[in-house]
Structure 1
């Protein structure tokens, strides 16, 4: 494949095309399996948002998911015991971020002990599991 060249005059059109693509990208139904890498909610109870590192179900590295209190608790418990979760919803791209909307069916996914150990080690390499300042997720204290 040969390289494509653009001139400075092409930049406005390319920016507009990129913005239109992001805006018009349709949401699609998915069932994602992923490990919880970040959790945030405004208080000790209630709904919250989790960030998943996607293992299967979508061709994206991470996705944010807004969960009700029970689903948030399930995600937190799965994380504590080193299990990924499975969740269904609609994958959307808004403002450059991937979100799963209308989330349902949140459940831990059983894995064998060797895979669980591997997942736990990979999570330990992520220094900010809890979004300490809430800067990227919209503020608030950690759960």
Structure 2
């Protein structure tokens, strides 16, 4: 019988900050960025430095059924396949992706926050700043 690995402790450490960042996201691009950095952090902790995780290794893919896509570099890493099948890593990444995709779709349907960031109204420019 093979040994099962569980990474729920790492998930529980990363999830609160990830949810907070998603709540602050002002655009769909912010959501993609926060997901990429969170997944790089997750992979770094899972592989304990044996794999130099990068932002591009796991990307948000809202149109995909899984909600994410793994890079070729990650898929070719020898330990990845073994860890993917012998642990809860796929479920954890799926949960992170689910949260991110929900936020992505919300911002996509309600672009008000993004537009206010990109195109501020002239009467609000500089408000809240003291000379």
TM-score, normalised via structure 1 length: 0.26
Instruction: Give the TM-score normalised by the residue count of structure 2.
Output: 0.27
**Relative contact order higher in (CA < 8 Å, ≥ 6 apart):** 2
Q: Which has the higher strand share?
A: 1
